[in-house]
Amino acid sequence: MKFFVDTADTDEIRDLAATGLIDGVTTNPSLVAKTGRDFTEVVKEICAMVDGPVSAEVTALETDAMVEEGRKLAKIADNVAIKVPLTWDGLKACRTLTQGGTMVNVTLCFSANQALLAAKAGATFISPFIGRLDDIGEDGIEVIRDIRAIYDNYDALSTEILAASIRSEDHVKRSALAGADVATVPPQVLRDLTKHALTDKGLAAFMADWEKTGQTIL
């Protein structure tokens, strides 16, 4: 499974990208607003840090304006993926943009039926929101499983499942088990994937034993 980091904080992205674990970045207007910086400048800087897709979201709500904004954003860098909402206008914009060779991430997906429509419209990525589904008492991971099963039934569908609204390490694990192609993860959740009490305990024991030897490597 590929990892995208869900943030517009360039310091965070730079630090995480240095690990080689980051395959892309997702942003949205809310995340960029938190930086207090110019939207285009932020996206351009992020695109220079990572080789993979960087999602930049349109703010228009009708098709022609979405397409116009999408084409403008796509000029920032070759690895920009245009983010459009899962509405009729968004799907039409998706079709137009993908036919023009632009990557498109269809966002705010909450059902397998919506994901099927996005794939038919040519979406590069579909972003089902796991955490928000869980918030209303539905099973976000089950939606991932349903989308995976539907996509696997049809060779013509090449859309990648991008698990979004991830809140925890468990969401990451269960998304991978359910067959998501990508997980877009907040920086802290990604860091937390390294943590385990037995890792900390084992390291402490190793270091204590090493100290007793009085040796140094350097």
Q: Which pLDDT score, from 0 to 100, does residue 30 have?
A: 87
Secondary structure (3-state) at 20: coil
Question: Could you tell me which residues come within 8 angstroms of residue 183 by beta carbon, excluding any fewer than 6 positions away?
Answer: 1, 2, 3, 4, 162, 163, 166, 171, 172, 175, 176
Q: What are phi and psi of 202, to 5 degrees?
A: -65, -40
* CA–CA distance, 138 with 140 (Å, rounded to integer): 6
- pLDDT for 29 equals 86
Q: Are 159 and 104 in contact (CB under 8 A)?
A: no
Helix (H) or strand (E) holding 2: strand 2-6
For residue 127, the one-letter residue type is S
Selecting among 44, 75, 83, 92, the annotated active-site residue is 83
CA atoms within a 13 Å half-sphere pointing along the CA-CB vector of 49: 27
Q: What confidence score (pLDDT) does residue 123 get?
A: 98
Instruction: Scan for tokens 């998304």, then name that residue.
Output: 175
Among residues 42, 40, 55, the alpha carbon closest in space to that of 11 is found at: 42
Q: If you average pLDDT over residues 174-188, what whole number do you get?
A: 97
Other C-beta atoms within 10 Å of 74: how many? 20
Please, are residues 123 and 104 in contact by the beta-carbon 8 Å criterion?
yes
Catalytic status, residue 83: yes
Q: What is the pLDDT of residue 16?
A: 95
Task: Show the domains of the chain with their CATH numbers.
Answer: 2-193 (3.20.20.70)
Residues found in the chain? 218
Average pLDDT over residues 108-135: 98
pLDDT tens figures, 37-64:
999 999 999 999 999 999 999 999 999 9
> What percent of the chain is predicted at pLDDT more than 90?
97
Specify the pTM: 0.94
Q: What's at 131, amino acid-wise?
A: G
CA 91 to chain centroid, in Å, comes to: 19
